[in-house]
Amino acid sequence: MAHRILIVDDAPIIRLMLKDILTVNGYSVVGEGNDGNEAIEKFKELSPDLVTMDITMPEKDGIRALQEILAIDQNAKVIVITAIDQRDSLMEAIRAGATDYIIKPFETDRVLSAVRRAFGEE
């Protein structure tokens, strides 16, 4: 069965781009979230195998949502996908427990390699 992925980003266009990349390559996108609160709600509801998480979002940002998801399930796989290309930000995400960190704008190969690595497929 295909791995089930939840995409969280406040930009519908990024959700669409990620969904295209993932579904074409055999993954199942089971849900989408627009902010940190929706990320947590949908994580509880859908129990996805992996979450892609933007950092800069309204209401609750991606780092806080990541921490709350890990508090629910310490083995949760969360790939942070953000436009913030800064060492401090990267370190904050890794310390918070991110599985990987992808900088926007991203290439298809970079997204696939991060997802495959998260599932031990590479």
Footprint of another protein on this chain (CB under 8 A)?
Answer: 10-14, 16-17, 56-58, 82-89, 104-105
**Is 10 or 100 the residue whose CB approaches another protein more closely?**
10
**Is 29 or 76 the residue whose CB approaches another protein more closely?**
29
CB of 111 to another protein, least distance (A): 14
DSSP assignment letter at 2: P
CB of 14 to another protein, least distance (A): 6
Of the chain, the end-to-end C-alpha distance in Å amounts to 18
**Is 46 or 84 the residue whose CB approaches another protein more closely?**
84
Distance CA 84, CA 103 (A): 7
> DSSP assignment of 17-74, as one string?
HHHHHHHHTT-EEEEEESSHHHHHHHHHHH--SEEEE-SS-SSS-HHHHHHHHHHH-T
CB of 68 to another protein, least distance (A): 19
CB of 5 to another protein, least distance (A): 20
Distance CA 77, CA 92 (A): 16
**Is 56 or 113 the residue whose CB approaches another protein more closely?**
56
